[in-house]
Amino acid sequence: MKSELDQSETKLVSTESEPPKPVLELFDVGKTYTTEGAPVHALVRVSLQVLPGEFVAIVGRSGCGKSTLLHLAGAMDFPTSGEVRIASETTSTLDDRGLTRLRRDKIGFVFQSFQLLQTLSVVENVELPLLLAGEQHTRERALESLTSVELCDKVDRMPHQLSGGQMQRVAIARALIHRPQLLLADEPTGNLDSSTADGIMTLLRRIARDQQAAILMATHSLDSIACADRVVYLRDGRVERIQRQ
Protein backbone atom coordinates (compact mmCIF):
# COMPACT_ATOMS: atom_id res chain seq x y z
CA MET A 1 0.00 0.00 0.00
CA LYS A 2 2.81 2.40 0.88
CA SER A 3 4.40 1.76 -2.49
CA GLU A 4 1.16 2.64 -4.30
CA LEU A 5 0.84 5.86 -2.29
CA ASP A 6 4.42 6.80 -3.06
CA GLN A 7 3.80 6.21 -6.75
CA SER A 8 0.62 8.33 -6.61
CA GLU A 9 2.46 11.18 -4.89
CA THR A 10 5.27 10.96 -7.43
CA LYS A 11 2.79 11.23 -10.29
CA LEU A 12 1.13 14.25 -8.64
CA VAL A 13 4.45 16.06 -8.20
CA SER A 14 5.42 15.26 -11.77
CA THR A 15 2.12 16.64 -13.13
CA GLU A 16 2.37 19.85 -11.11
CA SER A 17 5.91 20.50 -12.33
CA GLU A 18 5.09 20.10 -16.00
CA PRO A 19 5.50 23.32 -18.00
CA PRO A 20 2.31 24.89 -19.39
CA LYS A 21 1.31 23.93 -22.91
CA PRO A 22 1.66 26.71 -25.50
CA VAL A 23 -1.59 28.39 -26.53
CA LEU A 24 -0.17 29.31 -29.94
CA GLU A 25 2.42 27.33 -31.90
CA LEU A 26 3.88 28.07 -35.32
CA PHE A 27 6.12 25.43 -36.84
CA ASP A 28 8.32 26.46 -39.78
CA VAL A 29 5.44 28.52 -41.18
CA GLY A 30 5.58 30.07 -44.64
CA LYS A 31 3.00 32.12 -46.51
CA THR A 32 3.28 32.90 -50.22
CA TYR A 33 0.92 35.02 -52.29
CA THR A 34 0.84 35.44 -56.05
CA THR A 35 0.75 39.04 -57.30
CA GLU A 36 0.60 39.70 -61.03
CA GLY A 37 1.85 36.19 -61.67
CA ALA A 38 4.88 36.53 -59.38
CA PRO A 39 5.23 34.87 -55.95
CA VAL A 40 5.46 37.13 -52.89
CA HIS A 41 6.88 35.48 -49.78
CA ALA A 42 5.06 37.21 -46.92
CA LEU A 43 6.43 34.82 -44.27
CA VAL A 44 9.42 32.49 -44.51
CA ARG A 45 10.02 29.62 -42.07
CA VAL A 46 8.64 31.34 -38.96
CA SER A 47 8.57 29.31 -35.74
CA LEU A 48 7.11 30.70 -32.52
CA GLN A 49 5.35 29.61 -29.33
CA VAL A 50 3.27 31.76 -26.97
CA LEU A 51 2.49 30.47 -23.48
CA PRO A 52 -0.50 31.22 -21.22
CA GLY A 53 0.02 34.60 -19.55
CA GLU A 54 2.78 35.60 -21.97
CA PHE A 55 2.78 38.91 -23.84
CA VAL A 56 4.65 38.75 -27.16
CA ALA A 57 5.09 41.76 -29.43
CA ILE A 58 5.86 41.59 -33.16
CA VAL A 59 7.66 44.59 -34.59
CA GLY A 60 9.02 45.52 -37.98
CA ARG A 61 8.58 47.87 -40.88
CA SER A 62 5.36 48.06 -42.87
CA GLY A 63 5.15 45.05 -45.18
CA CYS A 64 7.42 42.84 -43.08
CA GLY A 65 4.68 40.26 -42.44
CA LYS A 66 3.18 41.34 -39.10
CA SER A 67 -0.45 41.36 -40.26
CA THR A 68 0.00 38.11 -42.17
CA LEU A 69 1.35 36.48 -39.02
CA LEU A 70 -1.64 37.70 -37.00
CA HIS A 71 -4.06 36.39 -39.63
CA LEU A 72 -2.46 32.95 -39.44
CA ALA A 73 -2.43 33.07 -35.63
CA GLY A 74 -6.16 33.91 -35.63
CA ALA A 75 -7.11 31.14 -38.08
CA MET A 76 -8.29 33.80 -40.52
CA ASP A 77 -5.81 32.51 -43.08
CA PHE A 78 -3.69 29.39 -43.47
CA PRO A 79 0.00 28.79 -44.10
CA THR A 80 1.34 27.75 -47.48
CA SER A 81 3.83 25.57 -45.63
CA GLY A 82 4.37 24.57 -42.03
CA GLU A 83 1.74 24.29 -39.32
CA VAL A 84 -0.21 26.58 -36.97
CA ARG A 85 -1.73 25.20 -33.77
CA ILE A 86 -4.09 27.06 -31.46
CA ALA A 87 -4.93 25.36 -28.17
CA SER A 88 -3.38 22.18 -29.63
CA GLU A 89 -5.63 22.26 -32.72
CA THR A 90 -4.05 22.46 -36.18
CA THR A 91 -5.94 25.20 -38.00
CA SER A 92 -5.51 23.82 -41.53
CA THR A 93 -7.25 20.55 -40.59
CA LEU A 94 -10.47 22.14 -39.27
CA ASP A 95 -13.66 22.48 -41.29
CA ASP A 96 -15.76 25.68 -41.31
CA ARG A 97 -17.68 24.70 -38.19
CA GLY A 98 -14.48 23.85 -36.33
CA LEU A 99 -12.85 27.12 -37.35
CA THR A 100 -15.90 29.13 -36.25
CA ARG A 101 -15.88 27.37 -32.88
CA LEU A 102 -12.13 27.93 -32.46
CA ARG A 103 -12.32 31.65 -33.24
CA ARG A 104 -15.42 32.14 -31.09
CA ASP A 105 -14.26 30.20 -28.03
CA LYS A 106 -10.48 30.49 -27.98
CA ILE A 107 -9.49 33.77 -29.67
CA GLY A 108 -10.14 37.45 -29.05
CA PHE A 109 -9.33 40.18 -31.57
CA VAL A 110 -8.44 43.84 -30.95
CA PHE A 111 -7.91 46.19 -33.91
CA GLN A 112 -6.49 49.67 -34.41
CA SER A 113 -9.83 51.03 -35.67
CA PHE A 114 -11.87 49.80 -32.62
CA GLN A 115 -14.70 48.49 -34.91
CA LEU A 116 -17.52 49.41 -32.54
CA LEU A 117 -21.08 49.62 -33.84
CA GLN A 118 -22.08 53.27 -33.55
CA THR A 119 -25.79 52.49 -33.11
CA LEU A 120 -25.19 50.33 -30.04
CA SER A 121 -24.33 51.45 -26.53
CA VAL A 122 -21.08 50.45 -24.84
CA VAL A 123 -22.59 47.48 -23.01
CA GLU A 124 -24.49 46.37 -26.11
CA ASN A 125 -21.27 46.38 -28.16
CA VAL A 126 -19.59 44.20 -25.56
CA GLU A 127 -22.39 41.67 -25.22
CA LEU A 128 -22.96 41.37 -28.99
CA PRO A 129 -20.65 38.33 -29.52
CA LEU A 130 -22.54 36.43 -26.83
CA LEU A 131 -25.92 37.33 -28.30
CA LEU A 132 -24.80 36.16 -31.74
CA ALA A 133 -23.67 32.88 -30.19
CA GLY A 134 -27.08 32.42 -28.53
CA GLU A 135 -25.67 32.45 -25.01
CA GLN A 136 -27.46 33.33 -21.76
CA HIS A 137 -26.88 36.07 -19.14
CA THR A 138 -25.13 38.26 -21.69
CA ARG A 139 -25.71 41.60 -19.90
CA GLU A 140 -24.24 40.34 -16.64
CA ARG A 141 -21.11 39.05 -18.38
CA ALA A 142 -20.75 42.25 -20.42
CA LEU A 143 -20.85 44.35 -17.27
CA GLU A 144 -18.22 42.10 -15.69
CA SER A 145 -15.97 42.50 -18.73
CA LEU A 146 -16.39 46.28 -18.72
CA THR A 147 -15.49 46.35 -15.03
CA SER A 148 -12.26 44.52 -15.83
CA VAL A 149 -11.23 47.39 -18.16
CA GLU A 150 -12.41 50.06 -15.69
CA LEU A 151 -15.39 51.29 -17.75
CA CYS A 152 -18.30 50.26 -15.55
CA ASP A 153 -19.39 53.93 -15.38
CA LYS A 154 -19.72 54.22 -19.20
CA VAL A 155 -22.02 51.29 -19.94
CA ASP A 156 -24.89 53.37 -21.34
CA ARG A 157 -22.77 55.76 -23.39
CA MET A 158 -22.66 55.62 -27.18
CA PRO A 159 -19.28 55.16 -28.92
CA HIS A 160 -19.22 58.75 -30.20
CA GLN A 161 -19.40 59.95 -26.58
CA LEU A 162 -16.12 58.24 -25.69
CA SER A 163 -12.47 59.17 -26.09
CA GLY A 164 -10.19 57.07 -28.28
CA GLY A 165 -8.71 55.31 -25.28
CA GLN A 166 -12.14 54.53 -23.88
CA MET A 167 -13.30 53.11 -27.23
CA GLN A 168 -10.25 50.85 -27.33
CA ARG A 169 -11.04 49.67 -23.80
CA VAL A 170 -14.56 48.80 -24.96
CA ALA A 171 -13.07 46.86 -27.86
CA ILE A 172 -10.80 45.00 -25.44
CA ALA A 173 -13.75 44.23 -23.14
CA ARG A 174 -15.62 42.82 -26.13
CA ALA A 175 -12.61 40.70 -27.12
CA LEU A 176 -12.43 39.32 -23.57
CA ILE A 177 -16.14 38.60 -23.15
CA HIS A 178 -15.69 34.85 -23.65
CA ARG A 179 -12.36 34.71 -21.78
CA PRO A 180 -10.25 33.64 -24.76
CA GLN A 181 -7.01 31.75 -24.34
CA LEU A 182 -5.40 33.85 -27.08
CA LEU A 183 -5.76 37.61 -27.57
CA LEU A 184 -4.53 39.07 -30.87
CA ALA A 185 -3.94 42.82 -31.07
CA ASP A 186 -3.18 44.56 -34.38
CA GLU A 187 -1.66 48.03 -33.79
CA PRO A 188 -3.96 48.58 -30.76
CA THR A 189 -2.42 51.99 -29.97
CA GLY A 190 -2.05 53.24 -33.53
CA ASN A 191 -4.83 55.84 -33.20
CA LEU A 192 -4.00 56.95 -29.66
CA ASP A 193 -1.76 59.60 -28.11
CA SER A 194 1.27 58.42 -26.16
CA SER A 195 -0.26 58.79 -22.69
CA THR A 196 -3.44 56.90 -23.66
CA ALA A 197 -1.35 54.27 -25.46
CA ASP A 198 0.65 53.66 -22.28
CA GLY A 199 -2.60 53.01 -20.42
CA ILE A 200 -3.75 50.47 -23.01
CA MET A 201 -0.39 48.67 -22.84
CA THR A 202 -0.60 48.49 -19.06
CA LEU A 203 -4.12 47.10 -19.36
CA LEU A 204 -3.00 44.38 -21.81
CA ARG A 205 -0.14 43.45 -19.50
CA ARG A 206 -2.57 43.09 -16.59
CA ILE A 207 -4.93 40.95 -18.70
CA ALA A 208 -2.10 38.59 -19.58
CA ARG A 209 -1.18 38.27 -15.91
CA ASP A 210 -4.62 38.11 -14.31
CA GLN A 211 -6.48 36.06 -16.93
CA GLN A 212 -3.49 34.02 -18.09
CA ALA A 213 -4.30 34.91 -21.69
CA ALA A 214 -1.57 34.57 -24.28
CA ILE A 215 -1.24 37.91 -26.09
CA LEU A 216 0.30 38.40 -29.53
CA MET A 217 0.50 42.05 -30.58
CA ALA A 218 1.68 43.54 -33.86
CA THR A 219 2.99 47.09 -33.61
CA HIS A 220 5.34 49.52 -35.31
CA SER A 221 5.74 51.53 -32.10
CA LEU A 222 8.86 50.80 -30.08
CA ASP A 223 7.23 52.56 -27.11
CA SER A 224 4.49 49.93 -27.06
CA ILE A 225 6.79 46.96 -26.54
CA ALA A 226 7.94 47.87 -23.02
CA CYS A 227 5.21 45.72 -21.44
CA ALA A 228 5.97 42.66 -23.58
CA ASP A 229 7.79 39.60 -22.25
CA ARG A 230 9.37 38.93 -25.64
CA VAL A 231 9.77 40.96 -28.82
CA VAL A 232 9.89 39.27 -32.22
CA TYR A 233 11.64 41.37 -34.85
CA LEU A 234 10.45 40.60 -38.38
CA ARG A 235 12.30 41.60 -41.52
CA ASP A 236 11.10 40.70 -45.01
CA GLY A 237 8.91 37.90 -43.65
CA ARG A 238 11.67 36.29 -41.58
CA VAL A 239 12.35 36.33 -37.86
CA GLU A 240 15.45 38.46 -37.55
CA ARG A 241 15.77 37.97 -33.80
CA ILE A 242 13.73 37.39 -30.64
CA GLN A 243 14.52 39.49 -27.60
CA ARG A 244 13.42 38.63 -24.07
CA GLN A 245 12.60 41.74 -22.04
Residue 38 in any domain: the answer is no
Do residues 25 and 198 make contact, with C-beta atoms less than 8 angstroms apart?
no
Q: What is the pLDDT of residues 124-173, one digit of tens each?
A: 999 999 998 888 889 999 999 999 898 989 999 999 999 999 999 999 99
Q: What is the pLDDT of residues 85-120, one digit of tens each?
A: 999 999 999 999 999 999 999 999 998 888 899 999
Residue 1 in any domain: the answer is no
Query: Could you tell me how far CA 54 lies from the centroid of its own chain?
Result: 10
Residue 103 in any domain: the answer is yes
pLDDT value of position 234: 95
Residue 123 in any domain: the answer is yes
The total domain count for the chain is: 1
Burial class (CB in 10 A: 0-12, 13-18, 19+), 212: middle
pLDDT for 5 beyond 70 = no
pLDDT value of position 191: 83
Average per-residue pLDDT for the chain: 90
Model-level pTM greater than 0.85? yes
d(CA 140, CA 136) in angstroms, rounded, equals: 9
Residue 125 in any domain: the answer is yes
Q: Residue 198 in 3-state DSSP?
A: helix
CATH number for the domain harbouring residue 55: 3.40.50.300
Residue 39 in any domain: the answer is no
Residue 36 in any domain: the answer is no
Residue 149 in any domain: the answer is yes
Q: Identify the domain containing residue 179 by its residue range.
A: 44-244
Q: Which band of pLDDT confidence, cut at 50, 70 and 90, is reported for residue 79?
A: very high
